[in-house]
Structure 1
Amino acid sequence: MKRLGIFGGSFNPIHLGHIILAGDIAEEFNLEKILFIPAYTPPLKSENELLPYELRYKMVESAIADYSNFDISDIEKRLPQPSYTINTLRALRDKFPAMEFYLIIGSDQAAQFEQWKEYDKIAKIAKIVVMSRNKAKIKNINMIFYNKRRIDISSTEIRRRIINNLPFRRFLPETVYKIIKNEKLFG
C-alpha cells in the first residue's frame, strides 16, 4: 500500500522548517508524497491572526514547487466550514482509497489534539506523526514522535521579526520571502 503524508496547517507563513521536516518525514516513513493542505478556516485560530487563504495557498505553492514528492491541495476550501481535520481525512480517503495516511502535526497541535473534532476517529484513519521533542500523552491515541532533527523556526517568530523590522529572510524559501516583501505582508 502506498503511503501519503498529509501536512495541514495555517502556514502563516510556510517556512524552511516545514519544508525540511516534511522531507525528513517523507524519507523516514517511506512516504510516496507529502500533501500540503493550507487550512481554510481553522477552528482553533482566529481569522484575524491569519493572512487570507489565497495568499497562504500561494506561498505554500511557491515554496514546494521544486519538490517532486510535495503537492498542495485546496480540499479544505471545498469542504464545509470550519476546516475540521476529520472531514478533510474522510474526503481524502474517498479520493485515495488505496493510500495509507500519515497525518503530520506539530507539538503545539498534539498538545491540543483532544480538542479536535472526533480526534479518536482521526487516529483510526491516519497514523499521527508528531514533529516534536516532547511526547504528549493522549489517552488511547497512538502517536509516532519524530524528533531526529530540531528546527527552531516558527511562523509566529517570523511574523514578530517582520513587525519589528528584524531580519527574517533566512527562515523562508526565497519565493515566500519575495511574496511577503512584494505584498508587504505582516508589516
Structure 2
Amino acid sequence: MKIGLYFGSFNPVHIGHLAIANYMAEFSDLDQIWFVISPQNPFKKKESLLPDYHRLELVNRSIENYPKIKASNIEFGLPKPSYTIDTLTYLKEKFPIYEFSLILGSDNLKNFHKWKNNDLILLNHELYVYPRPGYNDQEIKLNGRVHLINAPLMEISSSFIREAIKNHKEIPFFLPELAYQYLKEMHFYEK
C-alpha cells in the first residue's frame, strides 16, 4: 500500500488542506493520505499553536466520513522538534509493508535542500508536489522521485483563518462543519 504523508501543524486544518488531500487520494497513485499533525515544525514559531490533541481532533472531525484519509499522531511521541527523516524512519520500522511518500507544496519544495538528511529522504521516498500561490512550478527540477501534481491552486491559509476568528469574523465555509463547530465551542483563536 502506498501512503502519502501530508505533514503540517494544521493550525487549524481547513478546506484547502482537505481539497489537496482529496485530490491526491483520487488523482494520484497514492492509496491513502495520512495527515501527520506536527507538534512543532523546526521552521515555525510555536506561538498561537493549539495543543496537539485539539489539532488532531479538528482533523479527525474533518475527515471522519472519508476512508482514504487518516489522521496520524505519530509525531506526538517523537523528540521535538520534529524532523521528517526521523518520522519516516520510525514509520518504516513500524509499518514495513507500506511505501511512504511525502506530499508537499511547491513553497516547501523550494526549501527542501534545508531539510535534515534531504538527500536520504529523496533516495528512499517519492515527493508529490502540489502548486502554491506565488511559486513557479516550472522551476521544479523533476526526476523519477519528484512528481508535480496538477492539483487546484489553494490560496487559503491557516493564518488567514486565525486572523479572521480573532477579528470576530464568521467563516463557517472555510472549515468542515464539525471542525468549525468544535473550534467555536472551544473558543479557539479568539484572542
TM-score by length of 1: 0.90
Alpha carbons of structure 1 residues 66 and 105: separation in structure 2 relative to 1, 3 Å: same
| Identity level (%) | 38
The Cα of 1:185 is off from its aligned counterpart by 0.7
Q: Is the contact between residue 89 and residue 125 of structure 1 (CA under 8 Å) also seen in structure 2?
A: no
Query: Does 2:171 align with 1:172?
Result: no
The Cα of 1:165 is off from its aligned counterpart by 2.1
The Cα of 1:68 is off from its aligned counterpart by 0.8
The Cα of 1:148 is off from its aligned counterpart by 3.5
Corresponding position of 1:92: 91
Q: Is the contact between residue 20 and residue 151 of structure 2 (CA under 8 Å) also seen in structure 1?
A: no
Q: Is the contact between residue 120 and residue 141 of structure 1 (CA under 8 Å) also seen in structure 2?
A: no
Cα distance in 1 between the residues matched to 2:176 and 2:50: 18
The Cα of 1:30 is off from its aligned counterpart by 2.5
Q: SS of the residue aligned with 1:54?
A: helix
Which deviates more from structure 2 when the two are superposed, residues 108-117 or residues 58-67?
108-117
Corresponding position of 2:23: 24
Corresponding position of 1:13: 12
Superposition pairs of residues 13-92 of structure 1, within 5 angstroms: 13-92=12-91
Q: SS of the residue aligned with 1:182?
A: helix
Q: SS of the residue aligned with 2:40?
A: coil
Cα distance in 2 between the residues matched to 1:173 and 1:128: 27
Corresponding position of 2:154: 151
Cα distance in 1 between the residues matched to 2:28 and 2:140: 22
Gaps in structure 1 of 5+ consecutive residues = none
Superposition pairs of residues 102-121 of structure 1, within 5 angstroms: 102-121=101-120
Aligned residues: 186
Cα distance in 2 between the residues matched to 1:119 and 1:168: 37
Alpha-carbon deviations, 1:109-160, whole Å to 9, x = none?
Answer: 2222222111111112221111215325469895322233222221111112
Q: Is the contact between residue 123 and residue 141 of structure 1 (CA under 8 Å) also seen in structure 2?
A: no
Amino acid of the structure 2 residue aligned with 1:42: N
For the aligned residue pairs, the C-alpha RMSD in angstroms reads: 2.0
